[in-house]
Structure 1
Amino acid sequence: MGNTGSSFFWPDKDPEALGAGFGTNSARARKNFLQNVDDSGFNWLVYIVAASGFFTDSYNLFASNVILPALAYVYWDGTKHDKALAFNLTTLSASAVGQFVFGYFADKYGRRSLYGIELIIVIISTVGLLQCSNGFSDDNGNHTWNIDAWIIFWRTIMGLGIGAEYPLSACIAAEWSSTESRGRMIAAVFLMQPLGQLCAYGAGLTALRAFGSSKVEIDKLWRYVVGIGAFPTLLALGFRLFMPESGRFTYEVRKNIAPNDENGVLRSSDASVSSADVRSLGEEAPINQFKFSEIWDFLYHQGHWIDLFGTSMCWLLLDFAFYGLGFNNPSTLAKLWTSQDLTFPPDVPYWLETSGIVNATIDGVEIINGTYSNGTIADTLVGTVLESNMLRAIHTVSIASLLGSFLIIATINRFNRKHMLTITFCLLAVVLLAAFASFKALFHQGGLHVVLIMFWVIISFLFSFGPNTLTFIIPAEVFPTRYRCTFYGIAAAIGKIGAVLVQIVILHVPSVGKPNSSAIRWLLLSFAICMILGAMCSHYFVPEVQRRSTERDTRKDRKGNIRPAPPYVNIPLQELPLPRRSRQPSHDGGEELGEVEVRSK
């Protein structure tokens, strides 16, 4: 199926076919493949394959902001929010595991052997979620099953698939894109995160208008939102199953052609080559890139632990703030959109207390402080609550995030990515500090609450225009092919640890979720500190992936006209990572620092 499907869906893109004319000279075949990729410009087929998978995972990840209030209304009685946080914690923790494990497997066994597996996991877990129930219930409220346990179980499985998609989508985009379009390609893939989030809200609003507000109808709603996410997953799966192996992995790992080997002589990344390392041209070398000695040499002796540390810490600090603001979206935004303190009865349920909706008239019945005139909770408010949650998120977060993503796609080669990451971290710190300093003066102070909403809009824009996109891009560029997915998975998993940590913090500070509490401002201060630390990590530890353009970087367009290159051009993947100060063994058995000359094209 693989070869036939690859030749049909990917004509002239199979790396083995592109090198067929060079006989046993694998180095020349590799060079021809890379030249073909560089000449392809922005490859839309590659983009669809990478982006479709990431879209489905983003949709499923952020659909939690739509379905959690519905689950709370139908199944979770009481005022506690611990079940919602458990839902988020298991998803994020499983996602971190999926990022690390599948990143390693993608390097160990090849990209192609994993194409589609992560999407199959998402599809299976989606079907499992749709079938969750309490089973048979008797008159005493006893159940044969526990729906909460089943939801957590299937959400954990889904989290594994969601996490697995990160290294695969990013590395597919990086390894199949031309040098010129690489940054724009990966940024465009990440556009699927805010787009997937927006589509989750759109699906929720559509279902809300189609169904009613009874518990049966709201139960249908969350299942509809979850189930519809399987359809784009099936589309993405169709593309993945017929995709050929990454050409870079084929030549640089399976055939073990050194990145700087132009004549097919070298077969190892080591500087010295023994006779055992010189194999017949075209013969595949054993895939042994995970020998501890090689990893130790790359990370410690060559100094690239700094690259892994920098990308990982930037991602952790970013996700601590991003998921702290975004994964408890309904309750946080409800606080911001409310112009005055709210009054609720003591037994108000979680879904209503965190909504900011207290007074309304529905079907001619007046509701005051979330209750009917007889003092009972106004369940009919649930439709208004769910609609308000989704519309607030669209207006405050989704639109701003999409604009930020579009802008960074358009300008990705106009700026140095390392500097841009540092600057946008600093800008976020300034905005978060301003929001912290003014929070008490604006929170529930009549029309002044609009200023707080604007702070959130700016923060959402800067996340997408800066760190949230750039932490996704840079790890896919900087590491060599034989370790790219593994180290990308490590960086992404450490980022998700930041997301898990902030959920634990919120769990232990319950006042953050209270509608009239201003405790969230202290979270804003902690997020600002994280952004400052992120800027420092970016400045000192994140490596360069671009260089300033020169006259040799000018290109001819399709009409034959010479056009100047943008201010910065991407360094080819085969030249990354740039050497750092290395530790070389000294004559006395110790170590001495040595400078390695930076490679240039």
Structure 2
Amino acid sequence: MAGEQLQVLNALDVAKAQWYHFTAIIIAGMGFFTDAYDLFCISLVTKLLGRIYYHVDGAEKPGTLPPNVSAAVNGVAFCGTLAGQLFFGWLGDKLGRKKVYGGLFAIIISSAFKAVFDAPPYEVDALSSTVPQADYVWRIILMVGALPAALTYYWRMKMPETARYTALVAKNAKQAASDMSKVLQMDIEAESEKIEQVEKEKPRFGLFTKEFAKRHGLHLLGTTTTWFLLDTAFYSQNLIQKYIFSAIGWIPSSKSMNAIEEVFRIARAQTLIALCSTVPGYWFTVAFIDKMGRFAIQLTGFFFMTVFMFALAIPYDHWTHRDNRIGFVIMYSLTFFFANFGPNATTFVVPAEIFPARLRSTCHGISAASGKLGAIVGAFGFLYLAQNKDKGKVYAGYPAGIGVKNSLIVLGGINALGFLFTFLVPESKGKSLEEMTGENEDDEGHGEAELSSSTSHRTVPIA
């Protein structure tokens, strides 16, 4: 058996890019888009909810969400994501990627409709600073998040289950060969006997076993800690953006604008940051990830995120002068560039490549959930630190508890820890998915990798 390969996986590894691959990329990308959109739109939605439902008659300032309500809104989003990643990650290894993906999108679409139509209607406040249209804006923002899920659901259901899950987890070599024969447009032999033979020769280890701890324990520790630290810094940085924009004078105070104008100005500033730094960072990763490798990109990203955070924080008083604000925005944008040309891309990729197929979805879910735990720590931590300890309120201009400067110092320290924990993450560049599992290194020379391709020219992350 040693050295033999399962033809369906070998064909998948060596196949040239074709429509099947592009469809898989689009579907996966829509999933990430939905996740990111739903989480990052919360800051805009809470701005509007505060002005609509928490205005005070006769007050001079626009309404804002009380700290406990704001914490609840953000907490529900993050806690729901964390629980979902753990549960549906595990379910993906039990039922298959296709079934779970489709079910999740159905839940997202129905939940978005329920949130939008169950909320009470708008009431005019004493300032009329919150125009009636604001009530429609926050609902539209939430509904837009359901559109990619609805558009992607149909196409994902038309695609077959991934070949690796069908062959290596479900043990249906005939179905895997049939599915890939259609999408790759070539004849592929089923080879059911190979799977049966290996099942007899070698039992499989589970997630909570000494064997898994020996082979992948440090790897899982590396993917969970780095994703935790990244999201602690990344989501905190996004949540305090509006405070930073106000502190440097890029956006005027809330009381000088109506609700829609304020949200528009914040969204415009965030869009500018995204177009000039976030999006280019991702494309740099696309261009260099198979040349530099995952490890090098993640290490570089954490390093420069640390450098630029401290470069903004230490001479903070210099950056707040009107003449230096453009420099501040450029430096601040570079932290987002190196987040995406760095750990905000690689932490998604690596867990999908280094764990065995039967545990891949579970381990990816655990890694992603640790990231959302970091987002919860960052969101709630900065919300607490931002409180005015005398009156128990949050200042509208910037986090009053520790200030923008100290917030940036804390974020820099978190990124430095991410740099250190990256050394626990293995490099997967130039290896097939089965080679990365290490299951061909057992004493008898048998394992799951015998069923797969021995090609080493690239990794194909189609689990």
Q: Could you tell me the TM-score, scaled by structure 1's length?
A: 0.62
The answer as to 2:139 corresponding to 1:238 is: no
Cα separation, 2, equivalents of 1:454 and 1:417: 26
The answer as to 2:14 corresponding to 1:38 is: yes
Cα separation, 1, equivalents of 2:223 and 2:387: 33
Q: 2:105 aligns with which of 94, 108, 119?
A: 119
Q: Which amino acid aligns with 1:117?
A: G
The answer as to 2:93 corresponding to 1:93 is: no
Q: Please state how far the C-alpha of 1:498 moved relative to its aligned partner.
A: 0.5
The answer as to 2:310 corresponding to 1:334 is: no
Matches within 5 A, 1:235-314: 235-255=151-171, 264-265=193-194, 267=196, 273=201, 295-300=208-213, 302-314=214-226
Q: Which runs of 5+ in 1 are unaligned?
A: 1-24, 138-211, 278-288, 339-354, 359-369, 371-377, 547-569, 585-598
**Cα RMSD (Å) of the superposition?**
3.2
Cα separation, 2, equivalents of 1:575 and 1:107: 19
Q: Which amino acid aligns with 1:49?
A: I
Q: 2:425 aligns with which of 517, 538, 542?
A: 542
The answer as to 2:403 corresponding to 1:491 is: no
Instruction: Report the equivalent of 1:162.
Output: none
Higher helix fraction (1 or 2) = 2
Q: Which amino acid aligns with 2:384?
A: H
Cα separation, 2, equivalents of 1:228 and 1:401: 21
Q: Please state how far the C-alpha of 1:336 moved relative to its aligned partner.
A: 3.2
Q: Which amino acid aligns with 1:226?
A: L
Deviations 1:7-57 (A, max 9, x none): xxxxxxxxxxxxxxxxxx9x9894135314531325212122222232233
Q: Which has the higher contact order (CA 8 A, sep 6+)?
A: 2
CA contact (8 A) 2:13 2:432 kept: no
The answer as to 2:252 corresponding to 1:356 is: yes
Matches within 5 A, 1:69-468: 69-77=47-55, 78=63, 80-134=66-120, 214-255=130-171, 264-265=193-194, 267=196, 273=201, 295-300=208-213, 302-338=214-250, 356-357=252-253, 370=255, 381-443=258-320, 445-468=321-344
Cα separation, 1, equivalents of 2:412 and 2:153: 39
Q: 1:480 aligns with which of 356, 359, 374?
A: 356
Deviations 1:389-431 (A, max 9, x none): 1111112244310011111111221202112211221111111
1:576 partner SS:
helix
Cα separation, 2, equivalents of 1:108 and 1:115: 13
Cα separation, 2, equivalents of 1:425 and 1:317: 10
Residues 511 and 454 of structure 1, relative CA distance in 2, 3 Å threshold: farther
Cα separation, 2, equivalents of 1:268 and 1:113: 28
Instruction: Report the equivalent of 2:187.
Output: none
Cα separation, 1, equivalents of 2:197 and 2:414: 40
Q: Please state how far the C-alpha of 1:73 moved relative to its aligned partner.
A: 1.2
Q: Which runs of 5+ in 2 are unaligned?
A: 56-62, 174-190, 389-393, 444-453, 457-463
Aligned residue pairs, count: 407
CA contact (8 A) 2:51 2:130 kept: no
Q: Which amino acid aligns with 2:407?
A: L
Residues 230 and 420 of structure 1, relative CA distance in 2, 3 Å threshold: closer
Q: Which amino acid aligns with 1:120?
A: A
1:414 partner SS:
helix
Q: 1:572 aligns with which of 432, 435, 447?
A: 432
Cα separation, 2, equivalents of 1:28 and 1:447: 67
* Identity rate, percent: 24
Cα separation, 2, equivalents of 1:48 and 1:414: 23
CA contact (8 A) 1:333 1:393 kept: no
Cα separation, 2, equivalents of 1:215 and 1:119: 33
Residues 136 and 33 of structure 1, relative CA distance in 2, 3 Å threshold: closer
Q: Please state how far the C-alpha of 1:252 moved relative to its aligned partner.
A: 0.8
Q: Please state how far the C-alpha of 1:269 moved relative to its aligned partner.
A: 6.9
Residues 439 and 82 of structure 1, relative CA distance in 2, 3 Å threshold: farther
The answer as to 2:378 corresponding to 1:502 is: yes
